[in-house]
Amino acid sequence: MPVSIVKTNKAADVRRAVELLGGMSRFVSSGEKVVIKPNVCCGKESSTGAVTDPEMVAEVCRMVAECGATPVVAESPIYPFKPERVFSRPGYADFTEKYGFEFIDIDNAPFREIQVPRGKAIAHSFVSTDVLQCDKFINMPVMKTHLQTVVSLGLKNMKGIVVGKQKHIVHLQGLDEGIVDLNTVVKSHLVIVDGIIGMEGTGGPTNGRAVEMDVIVAGDNVVEVDSVATRIMGGDPSEVDHIRGAERRGLGSMDGIQMLGDDLASVAASRDLPRSPKMNQFLITGISLRLWNLVRVPWAKITGGEPVRKKAAQPGELLIDHGLCDGCRLCLKACPVDALSYDDLLGCDSAECIRCFCCAEVCPQGALAKKF
């Protein structure tokens, strides 16, 4: 099926994007339970480009309900953010009262351990039962950059089906392949990218710059939709490891995509993407870095070298802006390997650090970044 592109600044035009594909009844049937998964990774408003617009999600719920199916919106934010705080700011905490459709906080709802039979990075995970048991899954990411994975679109949005701290497993084993692994277990029947206000810059997915992209992209194949959305952002999907990996594993194709609606050229623009394909190729899974550290740390001791702490950050390493840091220590909880410490100033033990940048994602001050 083709991918639709609608140039617009109105959330309600999501209806047009789905109608171009043949209407919602092509994707859902009467009596089905349909889980709709927005990206509500952090407690910011949709005007920041960090989260999916709740008005657009509500319109998709209405379309699903018009087909006689039951829409349920479900999401889990970045760990260690508190879901109740995250969901209140962008308008998801009162989603049910406001729009009349159920909203599920995945971190505080039933979940199940699943095996990932085709997993390259993760062999198992802990995933929302509602997602696993639904009849159809609608994936609604926002169009934004990601300091680690270059873009955060439909494939990447799947990480939010994993419960709370269990997301660390994906980071420890290798984020790009882990994202693909999750997409081999849960299929997106429809992907709708909210690109009305997106995000650019190396601060994505939470601290980048909001940018009016004025577009909605939809389709039934997550690789195709992500490829089109990446091109709209001025990127090349073949340089995005998880999109390339998903194609390699047969989840869809980056090329030869039929497009409907507005011209790609009329909505595409050269956005500031955190491009570092060469660096990502080496990446640098938690396991490979830890194996490397088995050699590096003793070698540093023999040669008298300091295992990093006060050294200037090298490309690919964590950059700390002590001037912006207010000492909240949220990043310490986000770090899956306890590489951070706070002793007057925040410090990072780069011998332990696996370059996952979970800490940068949660820093409310934007004091942490990847050195490019």
Q: Which residues bind ligand SF4 (CB under 6 A)?
A: 318, 325-331, 334-335, 337, 339-340, 346, 348, 353-359, 363, 365, 367-368
Nearer to ligand SF4, 168 or 189 (CB): 168
User: CB count, 10 Å around CB of 314?
Assistant: 11
Decide whether 255 or 343 has the Cβ nearer to ligand SF4.
343
Smallest gap, in angstroms, from Cβ of residue 322 to ligand SF4?
8
| Beta carbon of residue 256, minimum distance to ligand SF4 (angstroms, whole number) | 37
Q: How far is the CB of 70 from ligand SF4 (least distance, A)?
A: 38
Nearest distance in Å: CB 340, ligand SF4? 5
The span from the CA of 298 to the CA of 83, in Å, is 41
Interatomic CA distance for residues 55 and 207, integer angstroms: 22
The residue among 22 and 347 lying less far from ligand SF4, judged by its C-beta, is 347
Q: How far is the CB of 352 from ligand SF4 (least distance, A)?
A: 7
Q: Which of residues 51 and 353 has its CB atom nearest to ligand SF4 in the complex?
A: 353
Q: Which is nearer to ligand SF4, 72 or 325 (CB)?
A: 325
Rounded least distance, CB 286 to ligand SF4, Å: 8
Reported for 54-58, long-range contacts at CB under 8 A and 24+ positions apart, including other chains, are 54/90, 54/91, 54/92, 54/95, 54/98, 54/99, 55/11, 55/12, 56/11, 56/12, 56/14, 56/140, 56/192, 56/194, 56/196, 56/216, 57/95, 57/140, 58/95, 58/98, 58/99, 58/101
Q: Smallest distance, Å, CB 202 to ligand SF4?
A: 14
Taking the least distance from each CB to ligand SF4, the nearer of 60 and 284 is 284
Beta bridge partners of 348: 340
Task: Give least dist CB 209 to ligand SF4, A.
Answer: 18
**Strand 209-219 relative to strand 3-7: parallel, antiparallel, unpaired?**
antiparallel
What is the separation of C-alpha 247 from the centre of its chain, rounded to a whole number of angstroms? 18
* CB-based contacts of 138, cutoff 8 Å, min separation 6: 27, 34, 35, 36, 37, 60, 64, 188, 189, 190, 191, 192
Q: Indicate the Cα dihedral angle 148, 150, 153, 156, nearest 10°.
A: -30
Residue closer to ligand SF4 by CB (options 326, 344) is: 326
What whole-number distance in Å separates Cα of residue 10 and Cα of residue 195? 10
Question: Measured from the CB atom, is 273 or 353 closer to ligand SF4?
Answer: 353
